[in-house]
Each structure stands twice: as structure tokens, then as C-alpha cells.
A and B are shown apart, each in its own frame.
Chain A
Amino acid sequence: MYYKSPAYKVFNGINVAVLVVLALLCVIPLIHVLAVSLSAKSAADANIVGLWPVDFTLEAYKKTTNNPVFLSSMWIAVQRTVIGTALTLLLAFLAAYPLSKETSAFRGRNVYAWLFVFTMLFNGGLVPFYMVIQRLGLMDSFWVLVLPGAVNVFLTILMLNFFRGIPKELEEASLIDGAGHFRTLFSIYLPVSLPAIATISLFSMVFHWNSWFDGLLYIGDPSRYPLATFLQTVIIQRDMSSMSLSPAEMALISQKTVKSAQIFIGALPILMVYPLLQRFFVKGLVMGSVKE
């Protein structure tokens, strides 16, 4: 066999080494942030922290969790993630069912399908979108974080393709037994679609947790930012002038260890669902690939 040849063994050794190094490069930045967040302030400021905490302390996390602005932005992020995901899921679930039908069963299906897909291909761009949000009176409202992105066409298509894979006999049997389409959708399709629903929920949760630009653009009062937007202003823009903080609070937030702790807490929910994500997203990506 080829893998017994000496030349291949040499290649294999080098290959494994390269792959492991590349893999480690993907997590080292995060480990560094974690190490800084767990180090003493003096060590972090002296830039001597590498991948292991120096003078281990939980001080930065205590300070972060004592900051009311941080906590409230986290609460807003949780709310938008839960409500936004639920809404996206409901809309995708409802719309995908009729759209998964053939034109012979649902007249007008293609018109609707194109109305959905066209929004993926073309958009009005930032400025008109901004104007619409303003006109609808959504500025500064919590709902601006949830409603504009409520229909996710990509996830709707994933759902649609999953529905296509469900044997038609299930639907036929249900309809013959006298159930309507709503009943069929919620009593028959819902239970068998749980893997697809889990996948879509995960995608949507990650999207909502990571979204920051809408908060920055449409919410004027920084105390009502979701966590990602809060982090964007504190860590990237380093602009806390609008936050009406005392100088002491300001110094505290901009401290290196505290910043690192904030970054790590921001990434933590993603890291927590990551094992699930990894299992489902591969499935999700290939979910649409089986077609009739």
C-alpha cells in the first residue's frame, strides 16, 4: 500500500505537523485573550502574558459583571437572540411548507418563490434601508433588532429543502384522515423536522448574538445597545464619551484585562453551543443537496 512507502511516511509526518500547527493557530488568539483576562493588571499592562495567565486572578471578571451597562447590554442581547430566533423560525417554518409544494399543488408558488429569492440577489443598500427604518418609527426601539431580519431567506430555503425530503405519503395520509394543511404542518411535519429546526435555530442564534451593526446604526442610546454593539464601541471604537460614565468607570472599562474579559464573555455563548453547531451545520449545509 502507498502509505507504507518511506517517502509517504516522511510526507505524512510533515503533513500532520503542518495541520496541527494550522489548527492551533485558529484557537491561539482566543487562548491568549483568556490568559490576559485571567492575569493581574500589572502583568497584562507589561505585555508579558502569553498563553498562560500570569498571577492568576478573577478580578477582571468581577469588575465586568459588576458593570451595570455591560449586564444590561447582555440582557438585551439575550432577549433579541431568543425572540429573534423564535420569530425567524416561525416565519421560515410557515413559509417553507407551501413553498415546498409543486406548482400543480400550489398555484402561484413560483411567483412567491421568486419574490423570496430576489431579495437575496438584490437589495436597496444601506441608505434606503435606513430611511425605511426611520419612516416605520423603529428608530431607538428594541424591535429594530428583531423585525428587519425576521425573514431569513437562506434559512427558509434550508427548511424548504428539508420538507422536500419528507415522504409525500405522510402528507397524503394526514390529508385523507381529514386534517387540514395547518394541522398537517404542526402535527405531522413539526415532529419530523426537529433536526432541521435545531439547525436553523443554531444558525439564527449565532447570527443574532453576533449582530452589532444594527444596534450601532439604529439605536441612539448606548445604554440600550445589545452586547455585540456595546463591545464594538468599547473595544473597537474606544469611544465611551456617549456613555455618560464617570472617569473611574471609564478607566475601568478600558483596562486591558477587563477588555479581554469582555471579549471572552462575548464569545462564550458561541463556544458553548459550538459542539452542537459543529454537529448540525455540516448537516445543514448538505441538507439541501438531495433533490428530486
Chain B
Amino acid sequence: MEQTQTSSTAVDRGRGAGASRPRRRSIVADIVRQWPFHIMVLPALVFLILFAYLPMGGLVMAFQDFKPWLGISGSEWVGLDQFRYLFEREDSLQVIWNTLVIAVFKMALNLLAPFVFAILLNEVRKQLLKRFVQTLVYLPHFLSWVILGGILTDLLSTEGGLVNRVLTGVFGMEPIFFLGQGDWFRFTVIVSDVWKEFGFGTVVFLAALAGINPSLYEAAEVDGANRWKQTLHITIPAMLPIAIVVGTLALGNVLNAGFDQIFNLYNPLVYAKGDIIDTFVYRAAIISGEMGFGTAIGLFKSVISFILVVISYRMAYKLANYRIF
């Protein structure tokens, strides 16, 4: 055993010394030679250490009964108590459930809606009309939930909001408490998120559609396939790989129900069905000062999301040969 090791190092050394171009230099020599590269990464790295890795270190607070005036070194260690507390408290279980329900519906519809919309848009042969529709549907994606939240609360208001005016005036219905009643709140949150994002989501699908070889359609045409058959057997199969990628990459969002949106739309009336992990953490930690507990829920969420993201990237790579970088 020792014999082989020594001999192999000898071979390596021999190669290094003998060959005109050494295979591997020492690390120090490489750093000296490639110093500009290290200097270029350094500024960004400093920021990442300060604002990404330092907070990760702060996660130890999840295992403490953290008191700001005692600091991390002085606070009492409580092991997994915060997590036990998390799964015993009824409100936190409800919050996890709310998050799952809202996030899963959003994920499914945010995949399906752009998929269908892209196919329908692709059928439009007047380029001007196509551009017009595209221009309008991409817009909401770029507006913040503060702006959209302000607009939606006004539009959906029961006291003269435009939507309820249409519902009562045109359809003769009773006004609906979109933002004041739990189930309607969930519905509103899901639909408005799909409304905001479906246009933007079509971009990748339209790119996939543009990449389909037209001769496939010509051949199908000759064989007598109508447009529906062509869609079924050419268009949809051609879009499936990218749909799989988009769908799996979204998996990491299972516990992301959209803090910005919920925070700007919710109110105490709908906490029971509309409160999600992120808003709950905000209220527990920042407003009520339960720092350790807030960290524990945050850690729970981060760990689950991390596992899901890693799995989904592996799946995307296996199923569709996709890599991020």
C-alpha cells in the first residue's frame, strides 16, 4: 500500500519536472499567477460573506431562547424546543397548510396558464395583433405588489370597487368580499398572481414554439392532419421538455406562497386562511419579538426549500438535460 503511494507520487513528480509544460502547479503558484481573477471576485465575495453567509451563521438562534440583550453567546440553548413548539402550536400548523395550498395552486396554474396561452397566441397569424397582445400581457410582471396591491384593494372593494360594481350592476349578483373572507381571499391571491405572471411565463414557451421545425407541420398537413391533430402530436410534444424544466424548477417554491403579495393584500380578517409562513415569521419575530421562534420557522422553510431545489435541479437535468450554468 505504502509502496504504491510513494511510487505514484514519484511518477507525478517525475512528470512535473520532466515535461516541458507541468500538469499541475502548486496552489500558491497558481494564485500568484492568476491574481487578477481573485481580485475581481473578491469585492462580490465580501458582500456575499457579509449579507449571505453571516446570516446563515445566525441560524443557531433557532436552537436558542434568543434574547436580543443577551446576544447569541449569552442566550440560553434550548435544543429543538422551538421546533417542537412550532409543530405543537395550532396557528403555525395552519400557516404551513395555508402556505402549501396557496403555493401549490399557484405553481400548477402558473405552469398551465402560460402553456395554453402560448399555444393560443401562436395560432395568431397577424404579427401586429400578436405583438399587441404580448406587449400588454407582459406588463403586470414588472409592477410591484405595492402598486398592484393598492390597485386591487381599490378594484375589489365592496364599497364601490369596479369589480363589484360590474358584478352587481351587470350580472345582478351580490357583492363579494374578495379580501375579507378567507376562501375568497385564497381565490383572489391565486388568481391575481396568475394574472400578474402568466404573460411573462409565456416567453419561454413562445421561444420553444418558434424552434419547431415547420416541415413537421407541412408533413402532417400532407398526411391530412387538421390543426387540432397537429397541435396534439407536434406542438405539445415539442413543448413538453421545456414545460418539464419550468415545472420542476418551480418545485423549490412549495413553501413560497408570495410574501410581497400576501403582505400587501391581507388583513386580520383573513389570517385564518391567508396567513403564510413568511408573513407569520414577520409578525412573530419583528412585531412580537419572538426571535428564536421566528428563526426556527425560517430555518424549517429554508431547509425544505433547499432539499426541493436540489432535487428539482437534478430532475430537470435528468429529464430534460437542463443545467443552470
Known: A132-B51, A206-B142, A277-B142. A2 touches B147 (CB 8 A): no
In the complex, chain A residues 1-33 whose Cβ is within 8 Å of any chain B Cβ: 1-3, 5, 7-8, 11-12, 15-16, 18-20, 22-27, 29-30, 32-33
For A211, the closest partner residue in chain B by CB is B144
Chain B's interface: helix, strand, loop or mixed, by majority? helix
Which residues on the B side are within 8 Å of A105 (C-beta)?
34
Cβ–Cβ contact A119 & B48, under 8 A: yes
Chain A, residue nearest B144 (CB) = A210
- Tell whether B85 is near chain A: CB-to-CB under 8 Å: no
B294 touches A127 (CB 8 A): yes
The answer, yes or no, to whether A95 is at the interface (CB within 8 Å) is yes
B151 & A33 in contact (Cβ 8 Å cutoff): yes
User: Is B230's beta carbon under 8 Å from chain A?
Assistant: yes
How near does chain B come to A23, taking the closest CB pair, in angstroms?
4
Task: Let me know if B150 is at the binding interface, CB within 8 A.
Answer: yes
Partner of A107, one of B34, B138, B230, B282: B34
A244 CB to closest chain B CB (Å) equals 22
B-side contacts of A39, CB under 8 Å: none
Cβ-defined partner of A123 (8 Å) among B50, B55, B121, B160: B55
Is there contact, CB below 8 Å, between A128 and B40? no
Is A195 at the interface (CB under 8 A from chain B)? Answer: no
Q: How far is the CB of B112 from chain A (nearest CB, A)?
A: 14
* A-B interface pairs (CB < 8 A), number: 259
Question: Does B11 count as interface, using CB distance less than 8 angstroms?
Answer: no
* Known contacts A112-B45, A182-B36; A123 and B52 CB within 8 A of each other: yes
Q: Which chain A residues lie closer than 8 Å to B281 at the CB level? A: 125-127
Contacts of A217 in B (CB 8 A): 286
Task: Write the chain B residue with the least CB distance to A97.
Answer: B40
Among B1-9, B87-95, B97-105, B127-135, the stretch in contact with A: B127-135
Give the contact stretch, choosing among B182-190, B268-276, B298-306. B298-306
- Cβ of A157 and Cβ of B324 under 8 Å apart? yes
Residue of A nearest to B129 (CB): A16
A128 lies within 8 A of B146 (CB): no
Which residues of chain A come closer than 8 Å to B135, judged between CB atoms?
278
Within 8 A of B (CB), among A109-123: 109, 112-113, 115-117, 119, 121-123
Is B139 within 8 A of A106, CB to CB?
A: no
Taking the complex as formed, is A250 at the interface, i.e. its CB lies under 8 A from any CB of chain B? no
- Asked if B221 contacts A112 (CB within 8 A), the reply is no
Q: How far is the CA of A271 from the CA of B255 in the complex (A)?
A: 31
Chain A interfacial residues counted at CB < 8 A: 102
Binding site for A on B (CB under 8 A): 27, 30-31, 34, 36-38, 40-41, 43-45, 47-48, 50-59, 61, 117, 120-121, 123-125, 129, 132-140, 142-144, 146-155, 159-162, 165, 195, 199, 203-204, 207, 221, 226-227, 230, 259-260, 263-264, 278, 281-282, 285-286, 291, 294-295, 297-299, 301-302, 305-306, 309-310, 323-325
New contact pairs (19) apart from A210-B144, A235-B146, CB-CB < 8 Å = A2-B221, A5-B226, A8-B226, A16-B124, A20-B133, A23-B136, A23-B137, A25-B195, A33-B151, A33-B154, A124-B56, A124-B58, A126-B294, A130-B285, A148-B51, A156-B44, A231-B147, A259-B150, A259-B154
Can you give 18 A-B contacts (C-beta < 8 A)? A16-B124, A20-B129, A27-B139, A30-B151, A33-B154, A95-B41, A98-B38, A98-B41, A124-B55, A124-B302, A125-B59, A147-B51, A180-B36, A181-B36, A212-B146, A213-B263, A236-B264, A278-B134
